[in-house]
Amino acid sequence: MVAQIVIQEGMKYCGIFMAMTFMVIGHASVQSQTVGQGLVDSLKRVTTVLNTAKKDEGWTISGITNVTFSQVGLLNWTAGGNSSISIIGLGMYKANYIRDNYTWNNYLELGYGLTKIGDVEFRKSDDRIIVVSQAGIAAGQTMNHSLLIDFRTQFTDGRNYIGTFDSVSGKYPLTSTFLAPAFLTTALGMEIKPTSSLSILIAPLTGRTTIVANNILSEAGAFNVTKGHTIKSFLGALINAHFNDQIVENVTLNSRLNVFSPFSSPDLMVVNWENLLSMKVNSFIKVTLSLDVFYDHKININRTDGTIGPATQLKNTFGVGFGYTF
């Protein structure tokens, strides 16, 4: 009798234990499915992020081409004045590459302008070739170890139109030409990018080379090159700051500042500051305002007061023209 009671009680507790076991197994199965689905969703999210990052890698090419034209025609105009024609072309192009922690940014700027006033022949109002290439290795979220190469020259001859006219050659004195001068800057340092629109390169080791590949200008010792030589180099430090952003709606400011300080005379710095303000009227019409500032104490130029020596060089242009952006 006692044995029968014990068996019945055992069967009762065994049934309860089995029921609890199935409940635990079922709950664990549900939890397992939930956790597994969570892992799958997480992997999907990670894969999506990686795929998005891969889309940002590789080459990115962009640029703008702008042509500005102006004309003034006068006939029997009692108020006086001169007819004039002016045309300026400017192209700025970028080709940037990114892969993992490596970046390679390339910039090309080409500008050329002609102006004709009255019966005088066309004369240059703008002439530039600028090539900038910068490679970097990430050293943090906002810092890169960088190598910068900056090359600048011009397309055609520059003349001193206030100088003495040469009746034999039929030309004014030559002041510059292609590769005379040319400026080559190579800098190694650290780039800081506090924002996406601002970058600052601090290069404690920088070489700056002046090239005068023209016999006439070389023999004259132009651009501080030793007479009869074509190259003169300096070692120093460089600060290069670049800002490019839309400051208000449809108005973009592109500004680049280069300050080179030679070790031989740190206080006699070479300053090059270029600014371009572009205002978009519609998809094709743009208003541009540029201001370029250049100073090199070692370069003697013909000043406006008739003296010769170092001076701050300024150039500004304003125009409305047609532009194409890609």
CATH number, domain 59-325: 2.40.230
Instruction: For residue 248, give the amino acid letter.
Output: V
Tokens of residue 182, six digits: 């040319």
Q: What is the DSSP string of 215-238?
A: HHHHHTTGGGPPTT-SEEEEEEEE
Rounded CA-CA distance 169/26 in Å is 102
Contact 163, 172 (CB under 8 A): yes
Tokens of residue 57, six digits: 């890698």
Q: Are strands 231-248 and 313-325 parallel, antiparallel or unpaired?
A: unpaired
In this predicted structure, the answer to whether residue 304 has a pLDDT above a threshold of 70 is: yes
Between CA 216 and CA 164, with CA 292 as vertex, the angle to 5 degrees is: 35
pLDDT score at 288: 92
Tokens of residue 111, six digits: 């500008």
Among candidate residues 242, 246, 243, the one with its CA nearest the CA of residue 259 = 242
Q: If pLDDT is split at 50, 70 and 90, which confidence band does 195 have?
A: very high
Which residues of 249-283 form beta strands (DSSP E)? 251-262, 270-280
When the pLDDT of each residue in the chain is averaged and rounded to a whole number, the result is: 85
- Which tens digits make up the pLDDT trace of 211-234? 999 999 999 999 999 999 999 999
Q: What is the largest CA-CA distance in the chain?
A: 143
Domain-wise residue ranges, the chain: 1-56, 59-325
pLDDT score at 122: 95
Q: What is the pTM of this model?
A: 0.80
pLDDT score at 131: 98
pLDDT score at 272: 96
Q: How far is CA 63 from CA 90, 284, 323, 324, in A?
A: 11, 14, 10, 8
pLDDT score at 281: 92
pLDDT score at 252: 95
Name the β-bridge partners of 223. none
Rounded CA-CA distance 246/214 in Å is 41
Between CA 283 and CA 64, with CA 285 as vertex, the angle to 5 degrees is: 75
> Average pLDDT in the 34-42 region?
44
Instruction: For residue 253, give the amino acid letter.
Output: L
